[in-house]
Structure 1
């Protein structure tokens, strides 16, 4: 069964779109959807093995994909890579900044080095990719950028370093939308809530029960599939979003509306009227949710 996108077939025909963090999680799913819609996906990430795996999956499904392995926090590496890919692709139409990562820790326990590394990955890396592509290409041809942030409206207790970086991404998105709009560049952000992605399995076992209880903190009574995030990313890349820029769209089942878990615990055991959409034919359920 092929990828089941909600967008029209061939929405990205003859388009080339760069996806950072394309080797796993939301980035991998988004890369698959773009390719299924006719686009050529350029995967970027640090672990070459993951990029190779995703590229091979896409090719097996009849799509087009290539990849570059680099650390997006390294400005020289970003510059060199973009120079190389622009020699091979005369036109790049979009960029998805999906690379990111964090670890669970209270603010009092986060070292300066640990805080800086998370900010560099979640904020500075996306800035370098966006700025470099803008200067080298988008400023002449236009383009669409989608940044992936997180549901940080009420802070991110236990992940303060990531929350600070993600808030920076949201503000950076607004600034870039204003400054780059006259060049035909649209830039938006997607803020996912909890997602049934491989990232859930990276958290310690002590968090597993809390992860299984997450649906009780979401008005819709469940967590999202990767495809439910990818579908929004792809819409923002598409022509249908040609007049949308500078916005952050929260895709979290309503969890960001307030401090619901603390002030008004939800008692429902799942919501039969809220069904998961998962068009990603290669989706893998995280072990912690099995």
Structure 2
């Protein structure tokens, strides 16, 4: 089997696209789709074994991939990593700033150290990657950046640190889109809502019950698939989005529109299978979170 992308074969042929957090979840799925469309994908992350495993998957499927171990929170390491990619491939055409992470805790219990760790991962690291890809390659020849944020509209209770970081990345997206437009660089963001990805496996076991109930709060009545998020990312990297910059594409099933008093929120199960809203799962190697596995 191969990735079942909705985009034309060869759409990204010859392009070099960096995917941070490419060893699992949305990053892994996106890397597979990009490679299936002809891109040479560079996987970035801190776990060499995970990166190598995804690289091997892509290669086995006929795509081109390499990887580099990098802690995006460390400025010198990011600079050196991007320099190595440019030296190896000649240029960087696209960046998917996907790496991130957070943990569930009330705002009053977040320590300064915990706050800083999440800010460094979800905001500073993404900024460093974007800046270095711009200064070392895109400033001279153009390119596209897609920053992955989150559903921050209406707050992120239990994740104040992540909400603040993601909101900062939205603002950075808008600012960079303006400042870098003169170099032919587009900067956009994708904001996933609730996605059934391996990221859910990082939450504590006691959160499982809450996670299973989440679709009831989504008007479309379900989780997003990794492939639905990947499709949005690919679109923003593609020539079809050549006049789109500084925007945020929400992939959330209308979750932020939920208001008290509306009554039944989630669409009935039979409605969820109608063609316009039926789940799209093009990723042939998808692995559901452990909490949903039998």
Is 1:235 equivalent to 2:230 in the alignment?
Answer: no
- Determine helix, strand or coil for the equivalent of 1:213: helix
Per-residue CA deviations over 1:193-239 (Å, capped at 9, x if unaligned) read 00010011221222111111111111101010000000000000000
- Could you list the runs of 5+ residues in structure 1 that have no partner in the other structure? none
Conserved 8 A contact 1:146-1:237: yes
Preserved contact between residue 219 and residue 258 of structure 2 (Cα < 8 Å): no
Task: State the partner residue of 1:62.
Answer: 62
For 1:102 and 1:263, how far apart are their aligned partners in 2? Answer: 31
Cross-structure match for 2:218? 218
Distance 2:129 2:211 in 1: 32
Q: Deviations over 1:75-102 (max 9, x none)?
A: 0001111111111111211000000000
Q: Is the contact made by 1:190 and 1:248 (CA closer than 8 Å) also made in structure 2?
A: yes
In structure 1, how many angstroms separate the alpha carbons of the residues matched to 2:88 and 2:29? 24
Structure 2 residue aligned with 1:266: 265
Contact 1:216/1:269 (8 A) holds in 2: no
Cα distance in 2 for residues equivalent to 1:252 and 1:268 = 14
Alignment: residue pair count: 289
Asked whether the 8 Å contact 2:198–2:289 carries over to 1, the reply is yes
Q: Is the 8 A contact 2:219 2:266 kept in 1?
A: no
Is the contact made by 1:154 and 1:259 (CA closer than 8 Å) also made in structure 2?
Answer: no
TM-score, reference length from structure 2? 0.96
CA apart distance, 1:268: 4.8
CA contact (8 A) 1:151 1:193 kept: yes
> Could you state the TM-score of these two structures normalised by the residue count of structure 1?
0.97
The CA distance in 1 between the partners of 2:69 and 2:218, in whole Å, is: 36
Contact preservation (8 Å) 1:201, 1:287: yes
Contact preservation (8 Å) 2:143, 2:184:
yes
What is the Cα-based RMSD across aligned positions, in Å?
Answer: 1.3
Large movers: runs of 4+ above 2 Å? 262-274
Q: Please list the CA deviations of residues 152-181 of structure 1 after superposition, one character each: whole Å capped at 9, or x if unmatched.
A: 101100011000000000000000000000
In the TM superposition, residue 272 of structure 1 has moved relative to its aligned partner by: 3.4
Pick from 263, 268, 277 the counterpart of residue 280 of structure 2: 277
Q: How far, CA to CA, are the matches of 1:265 and 1:69 in structure 2?
A: 46
Task: State the Cα distance separating 1:245 from its structure 2 match.
Answer: 0.1
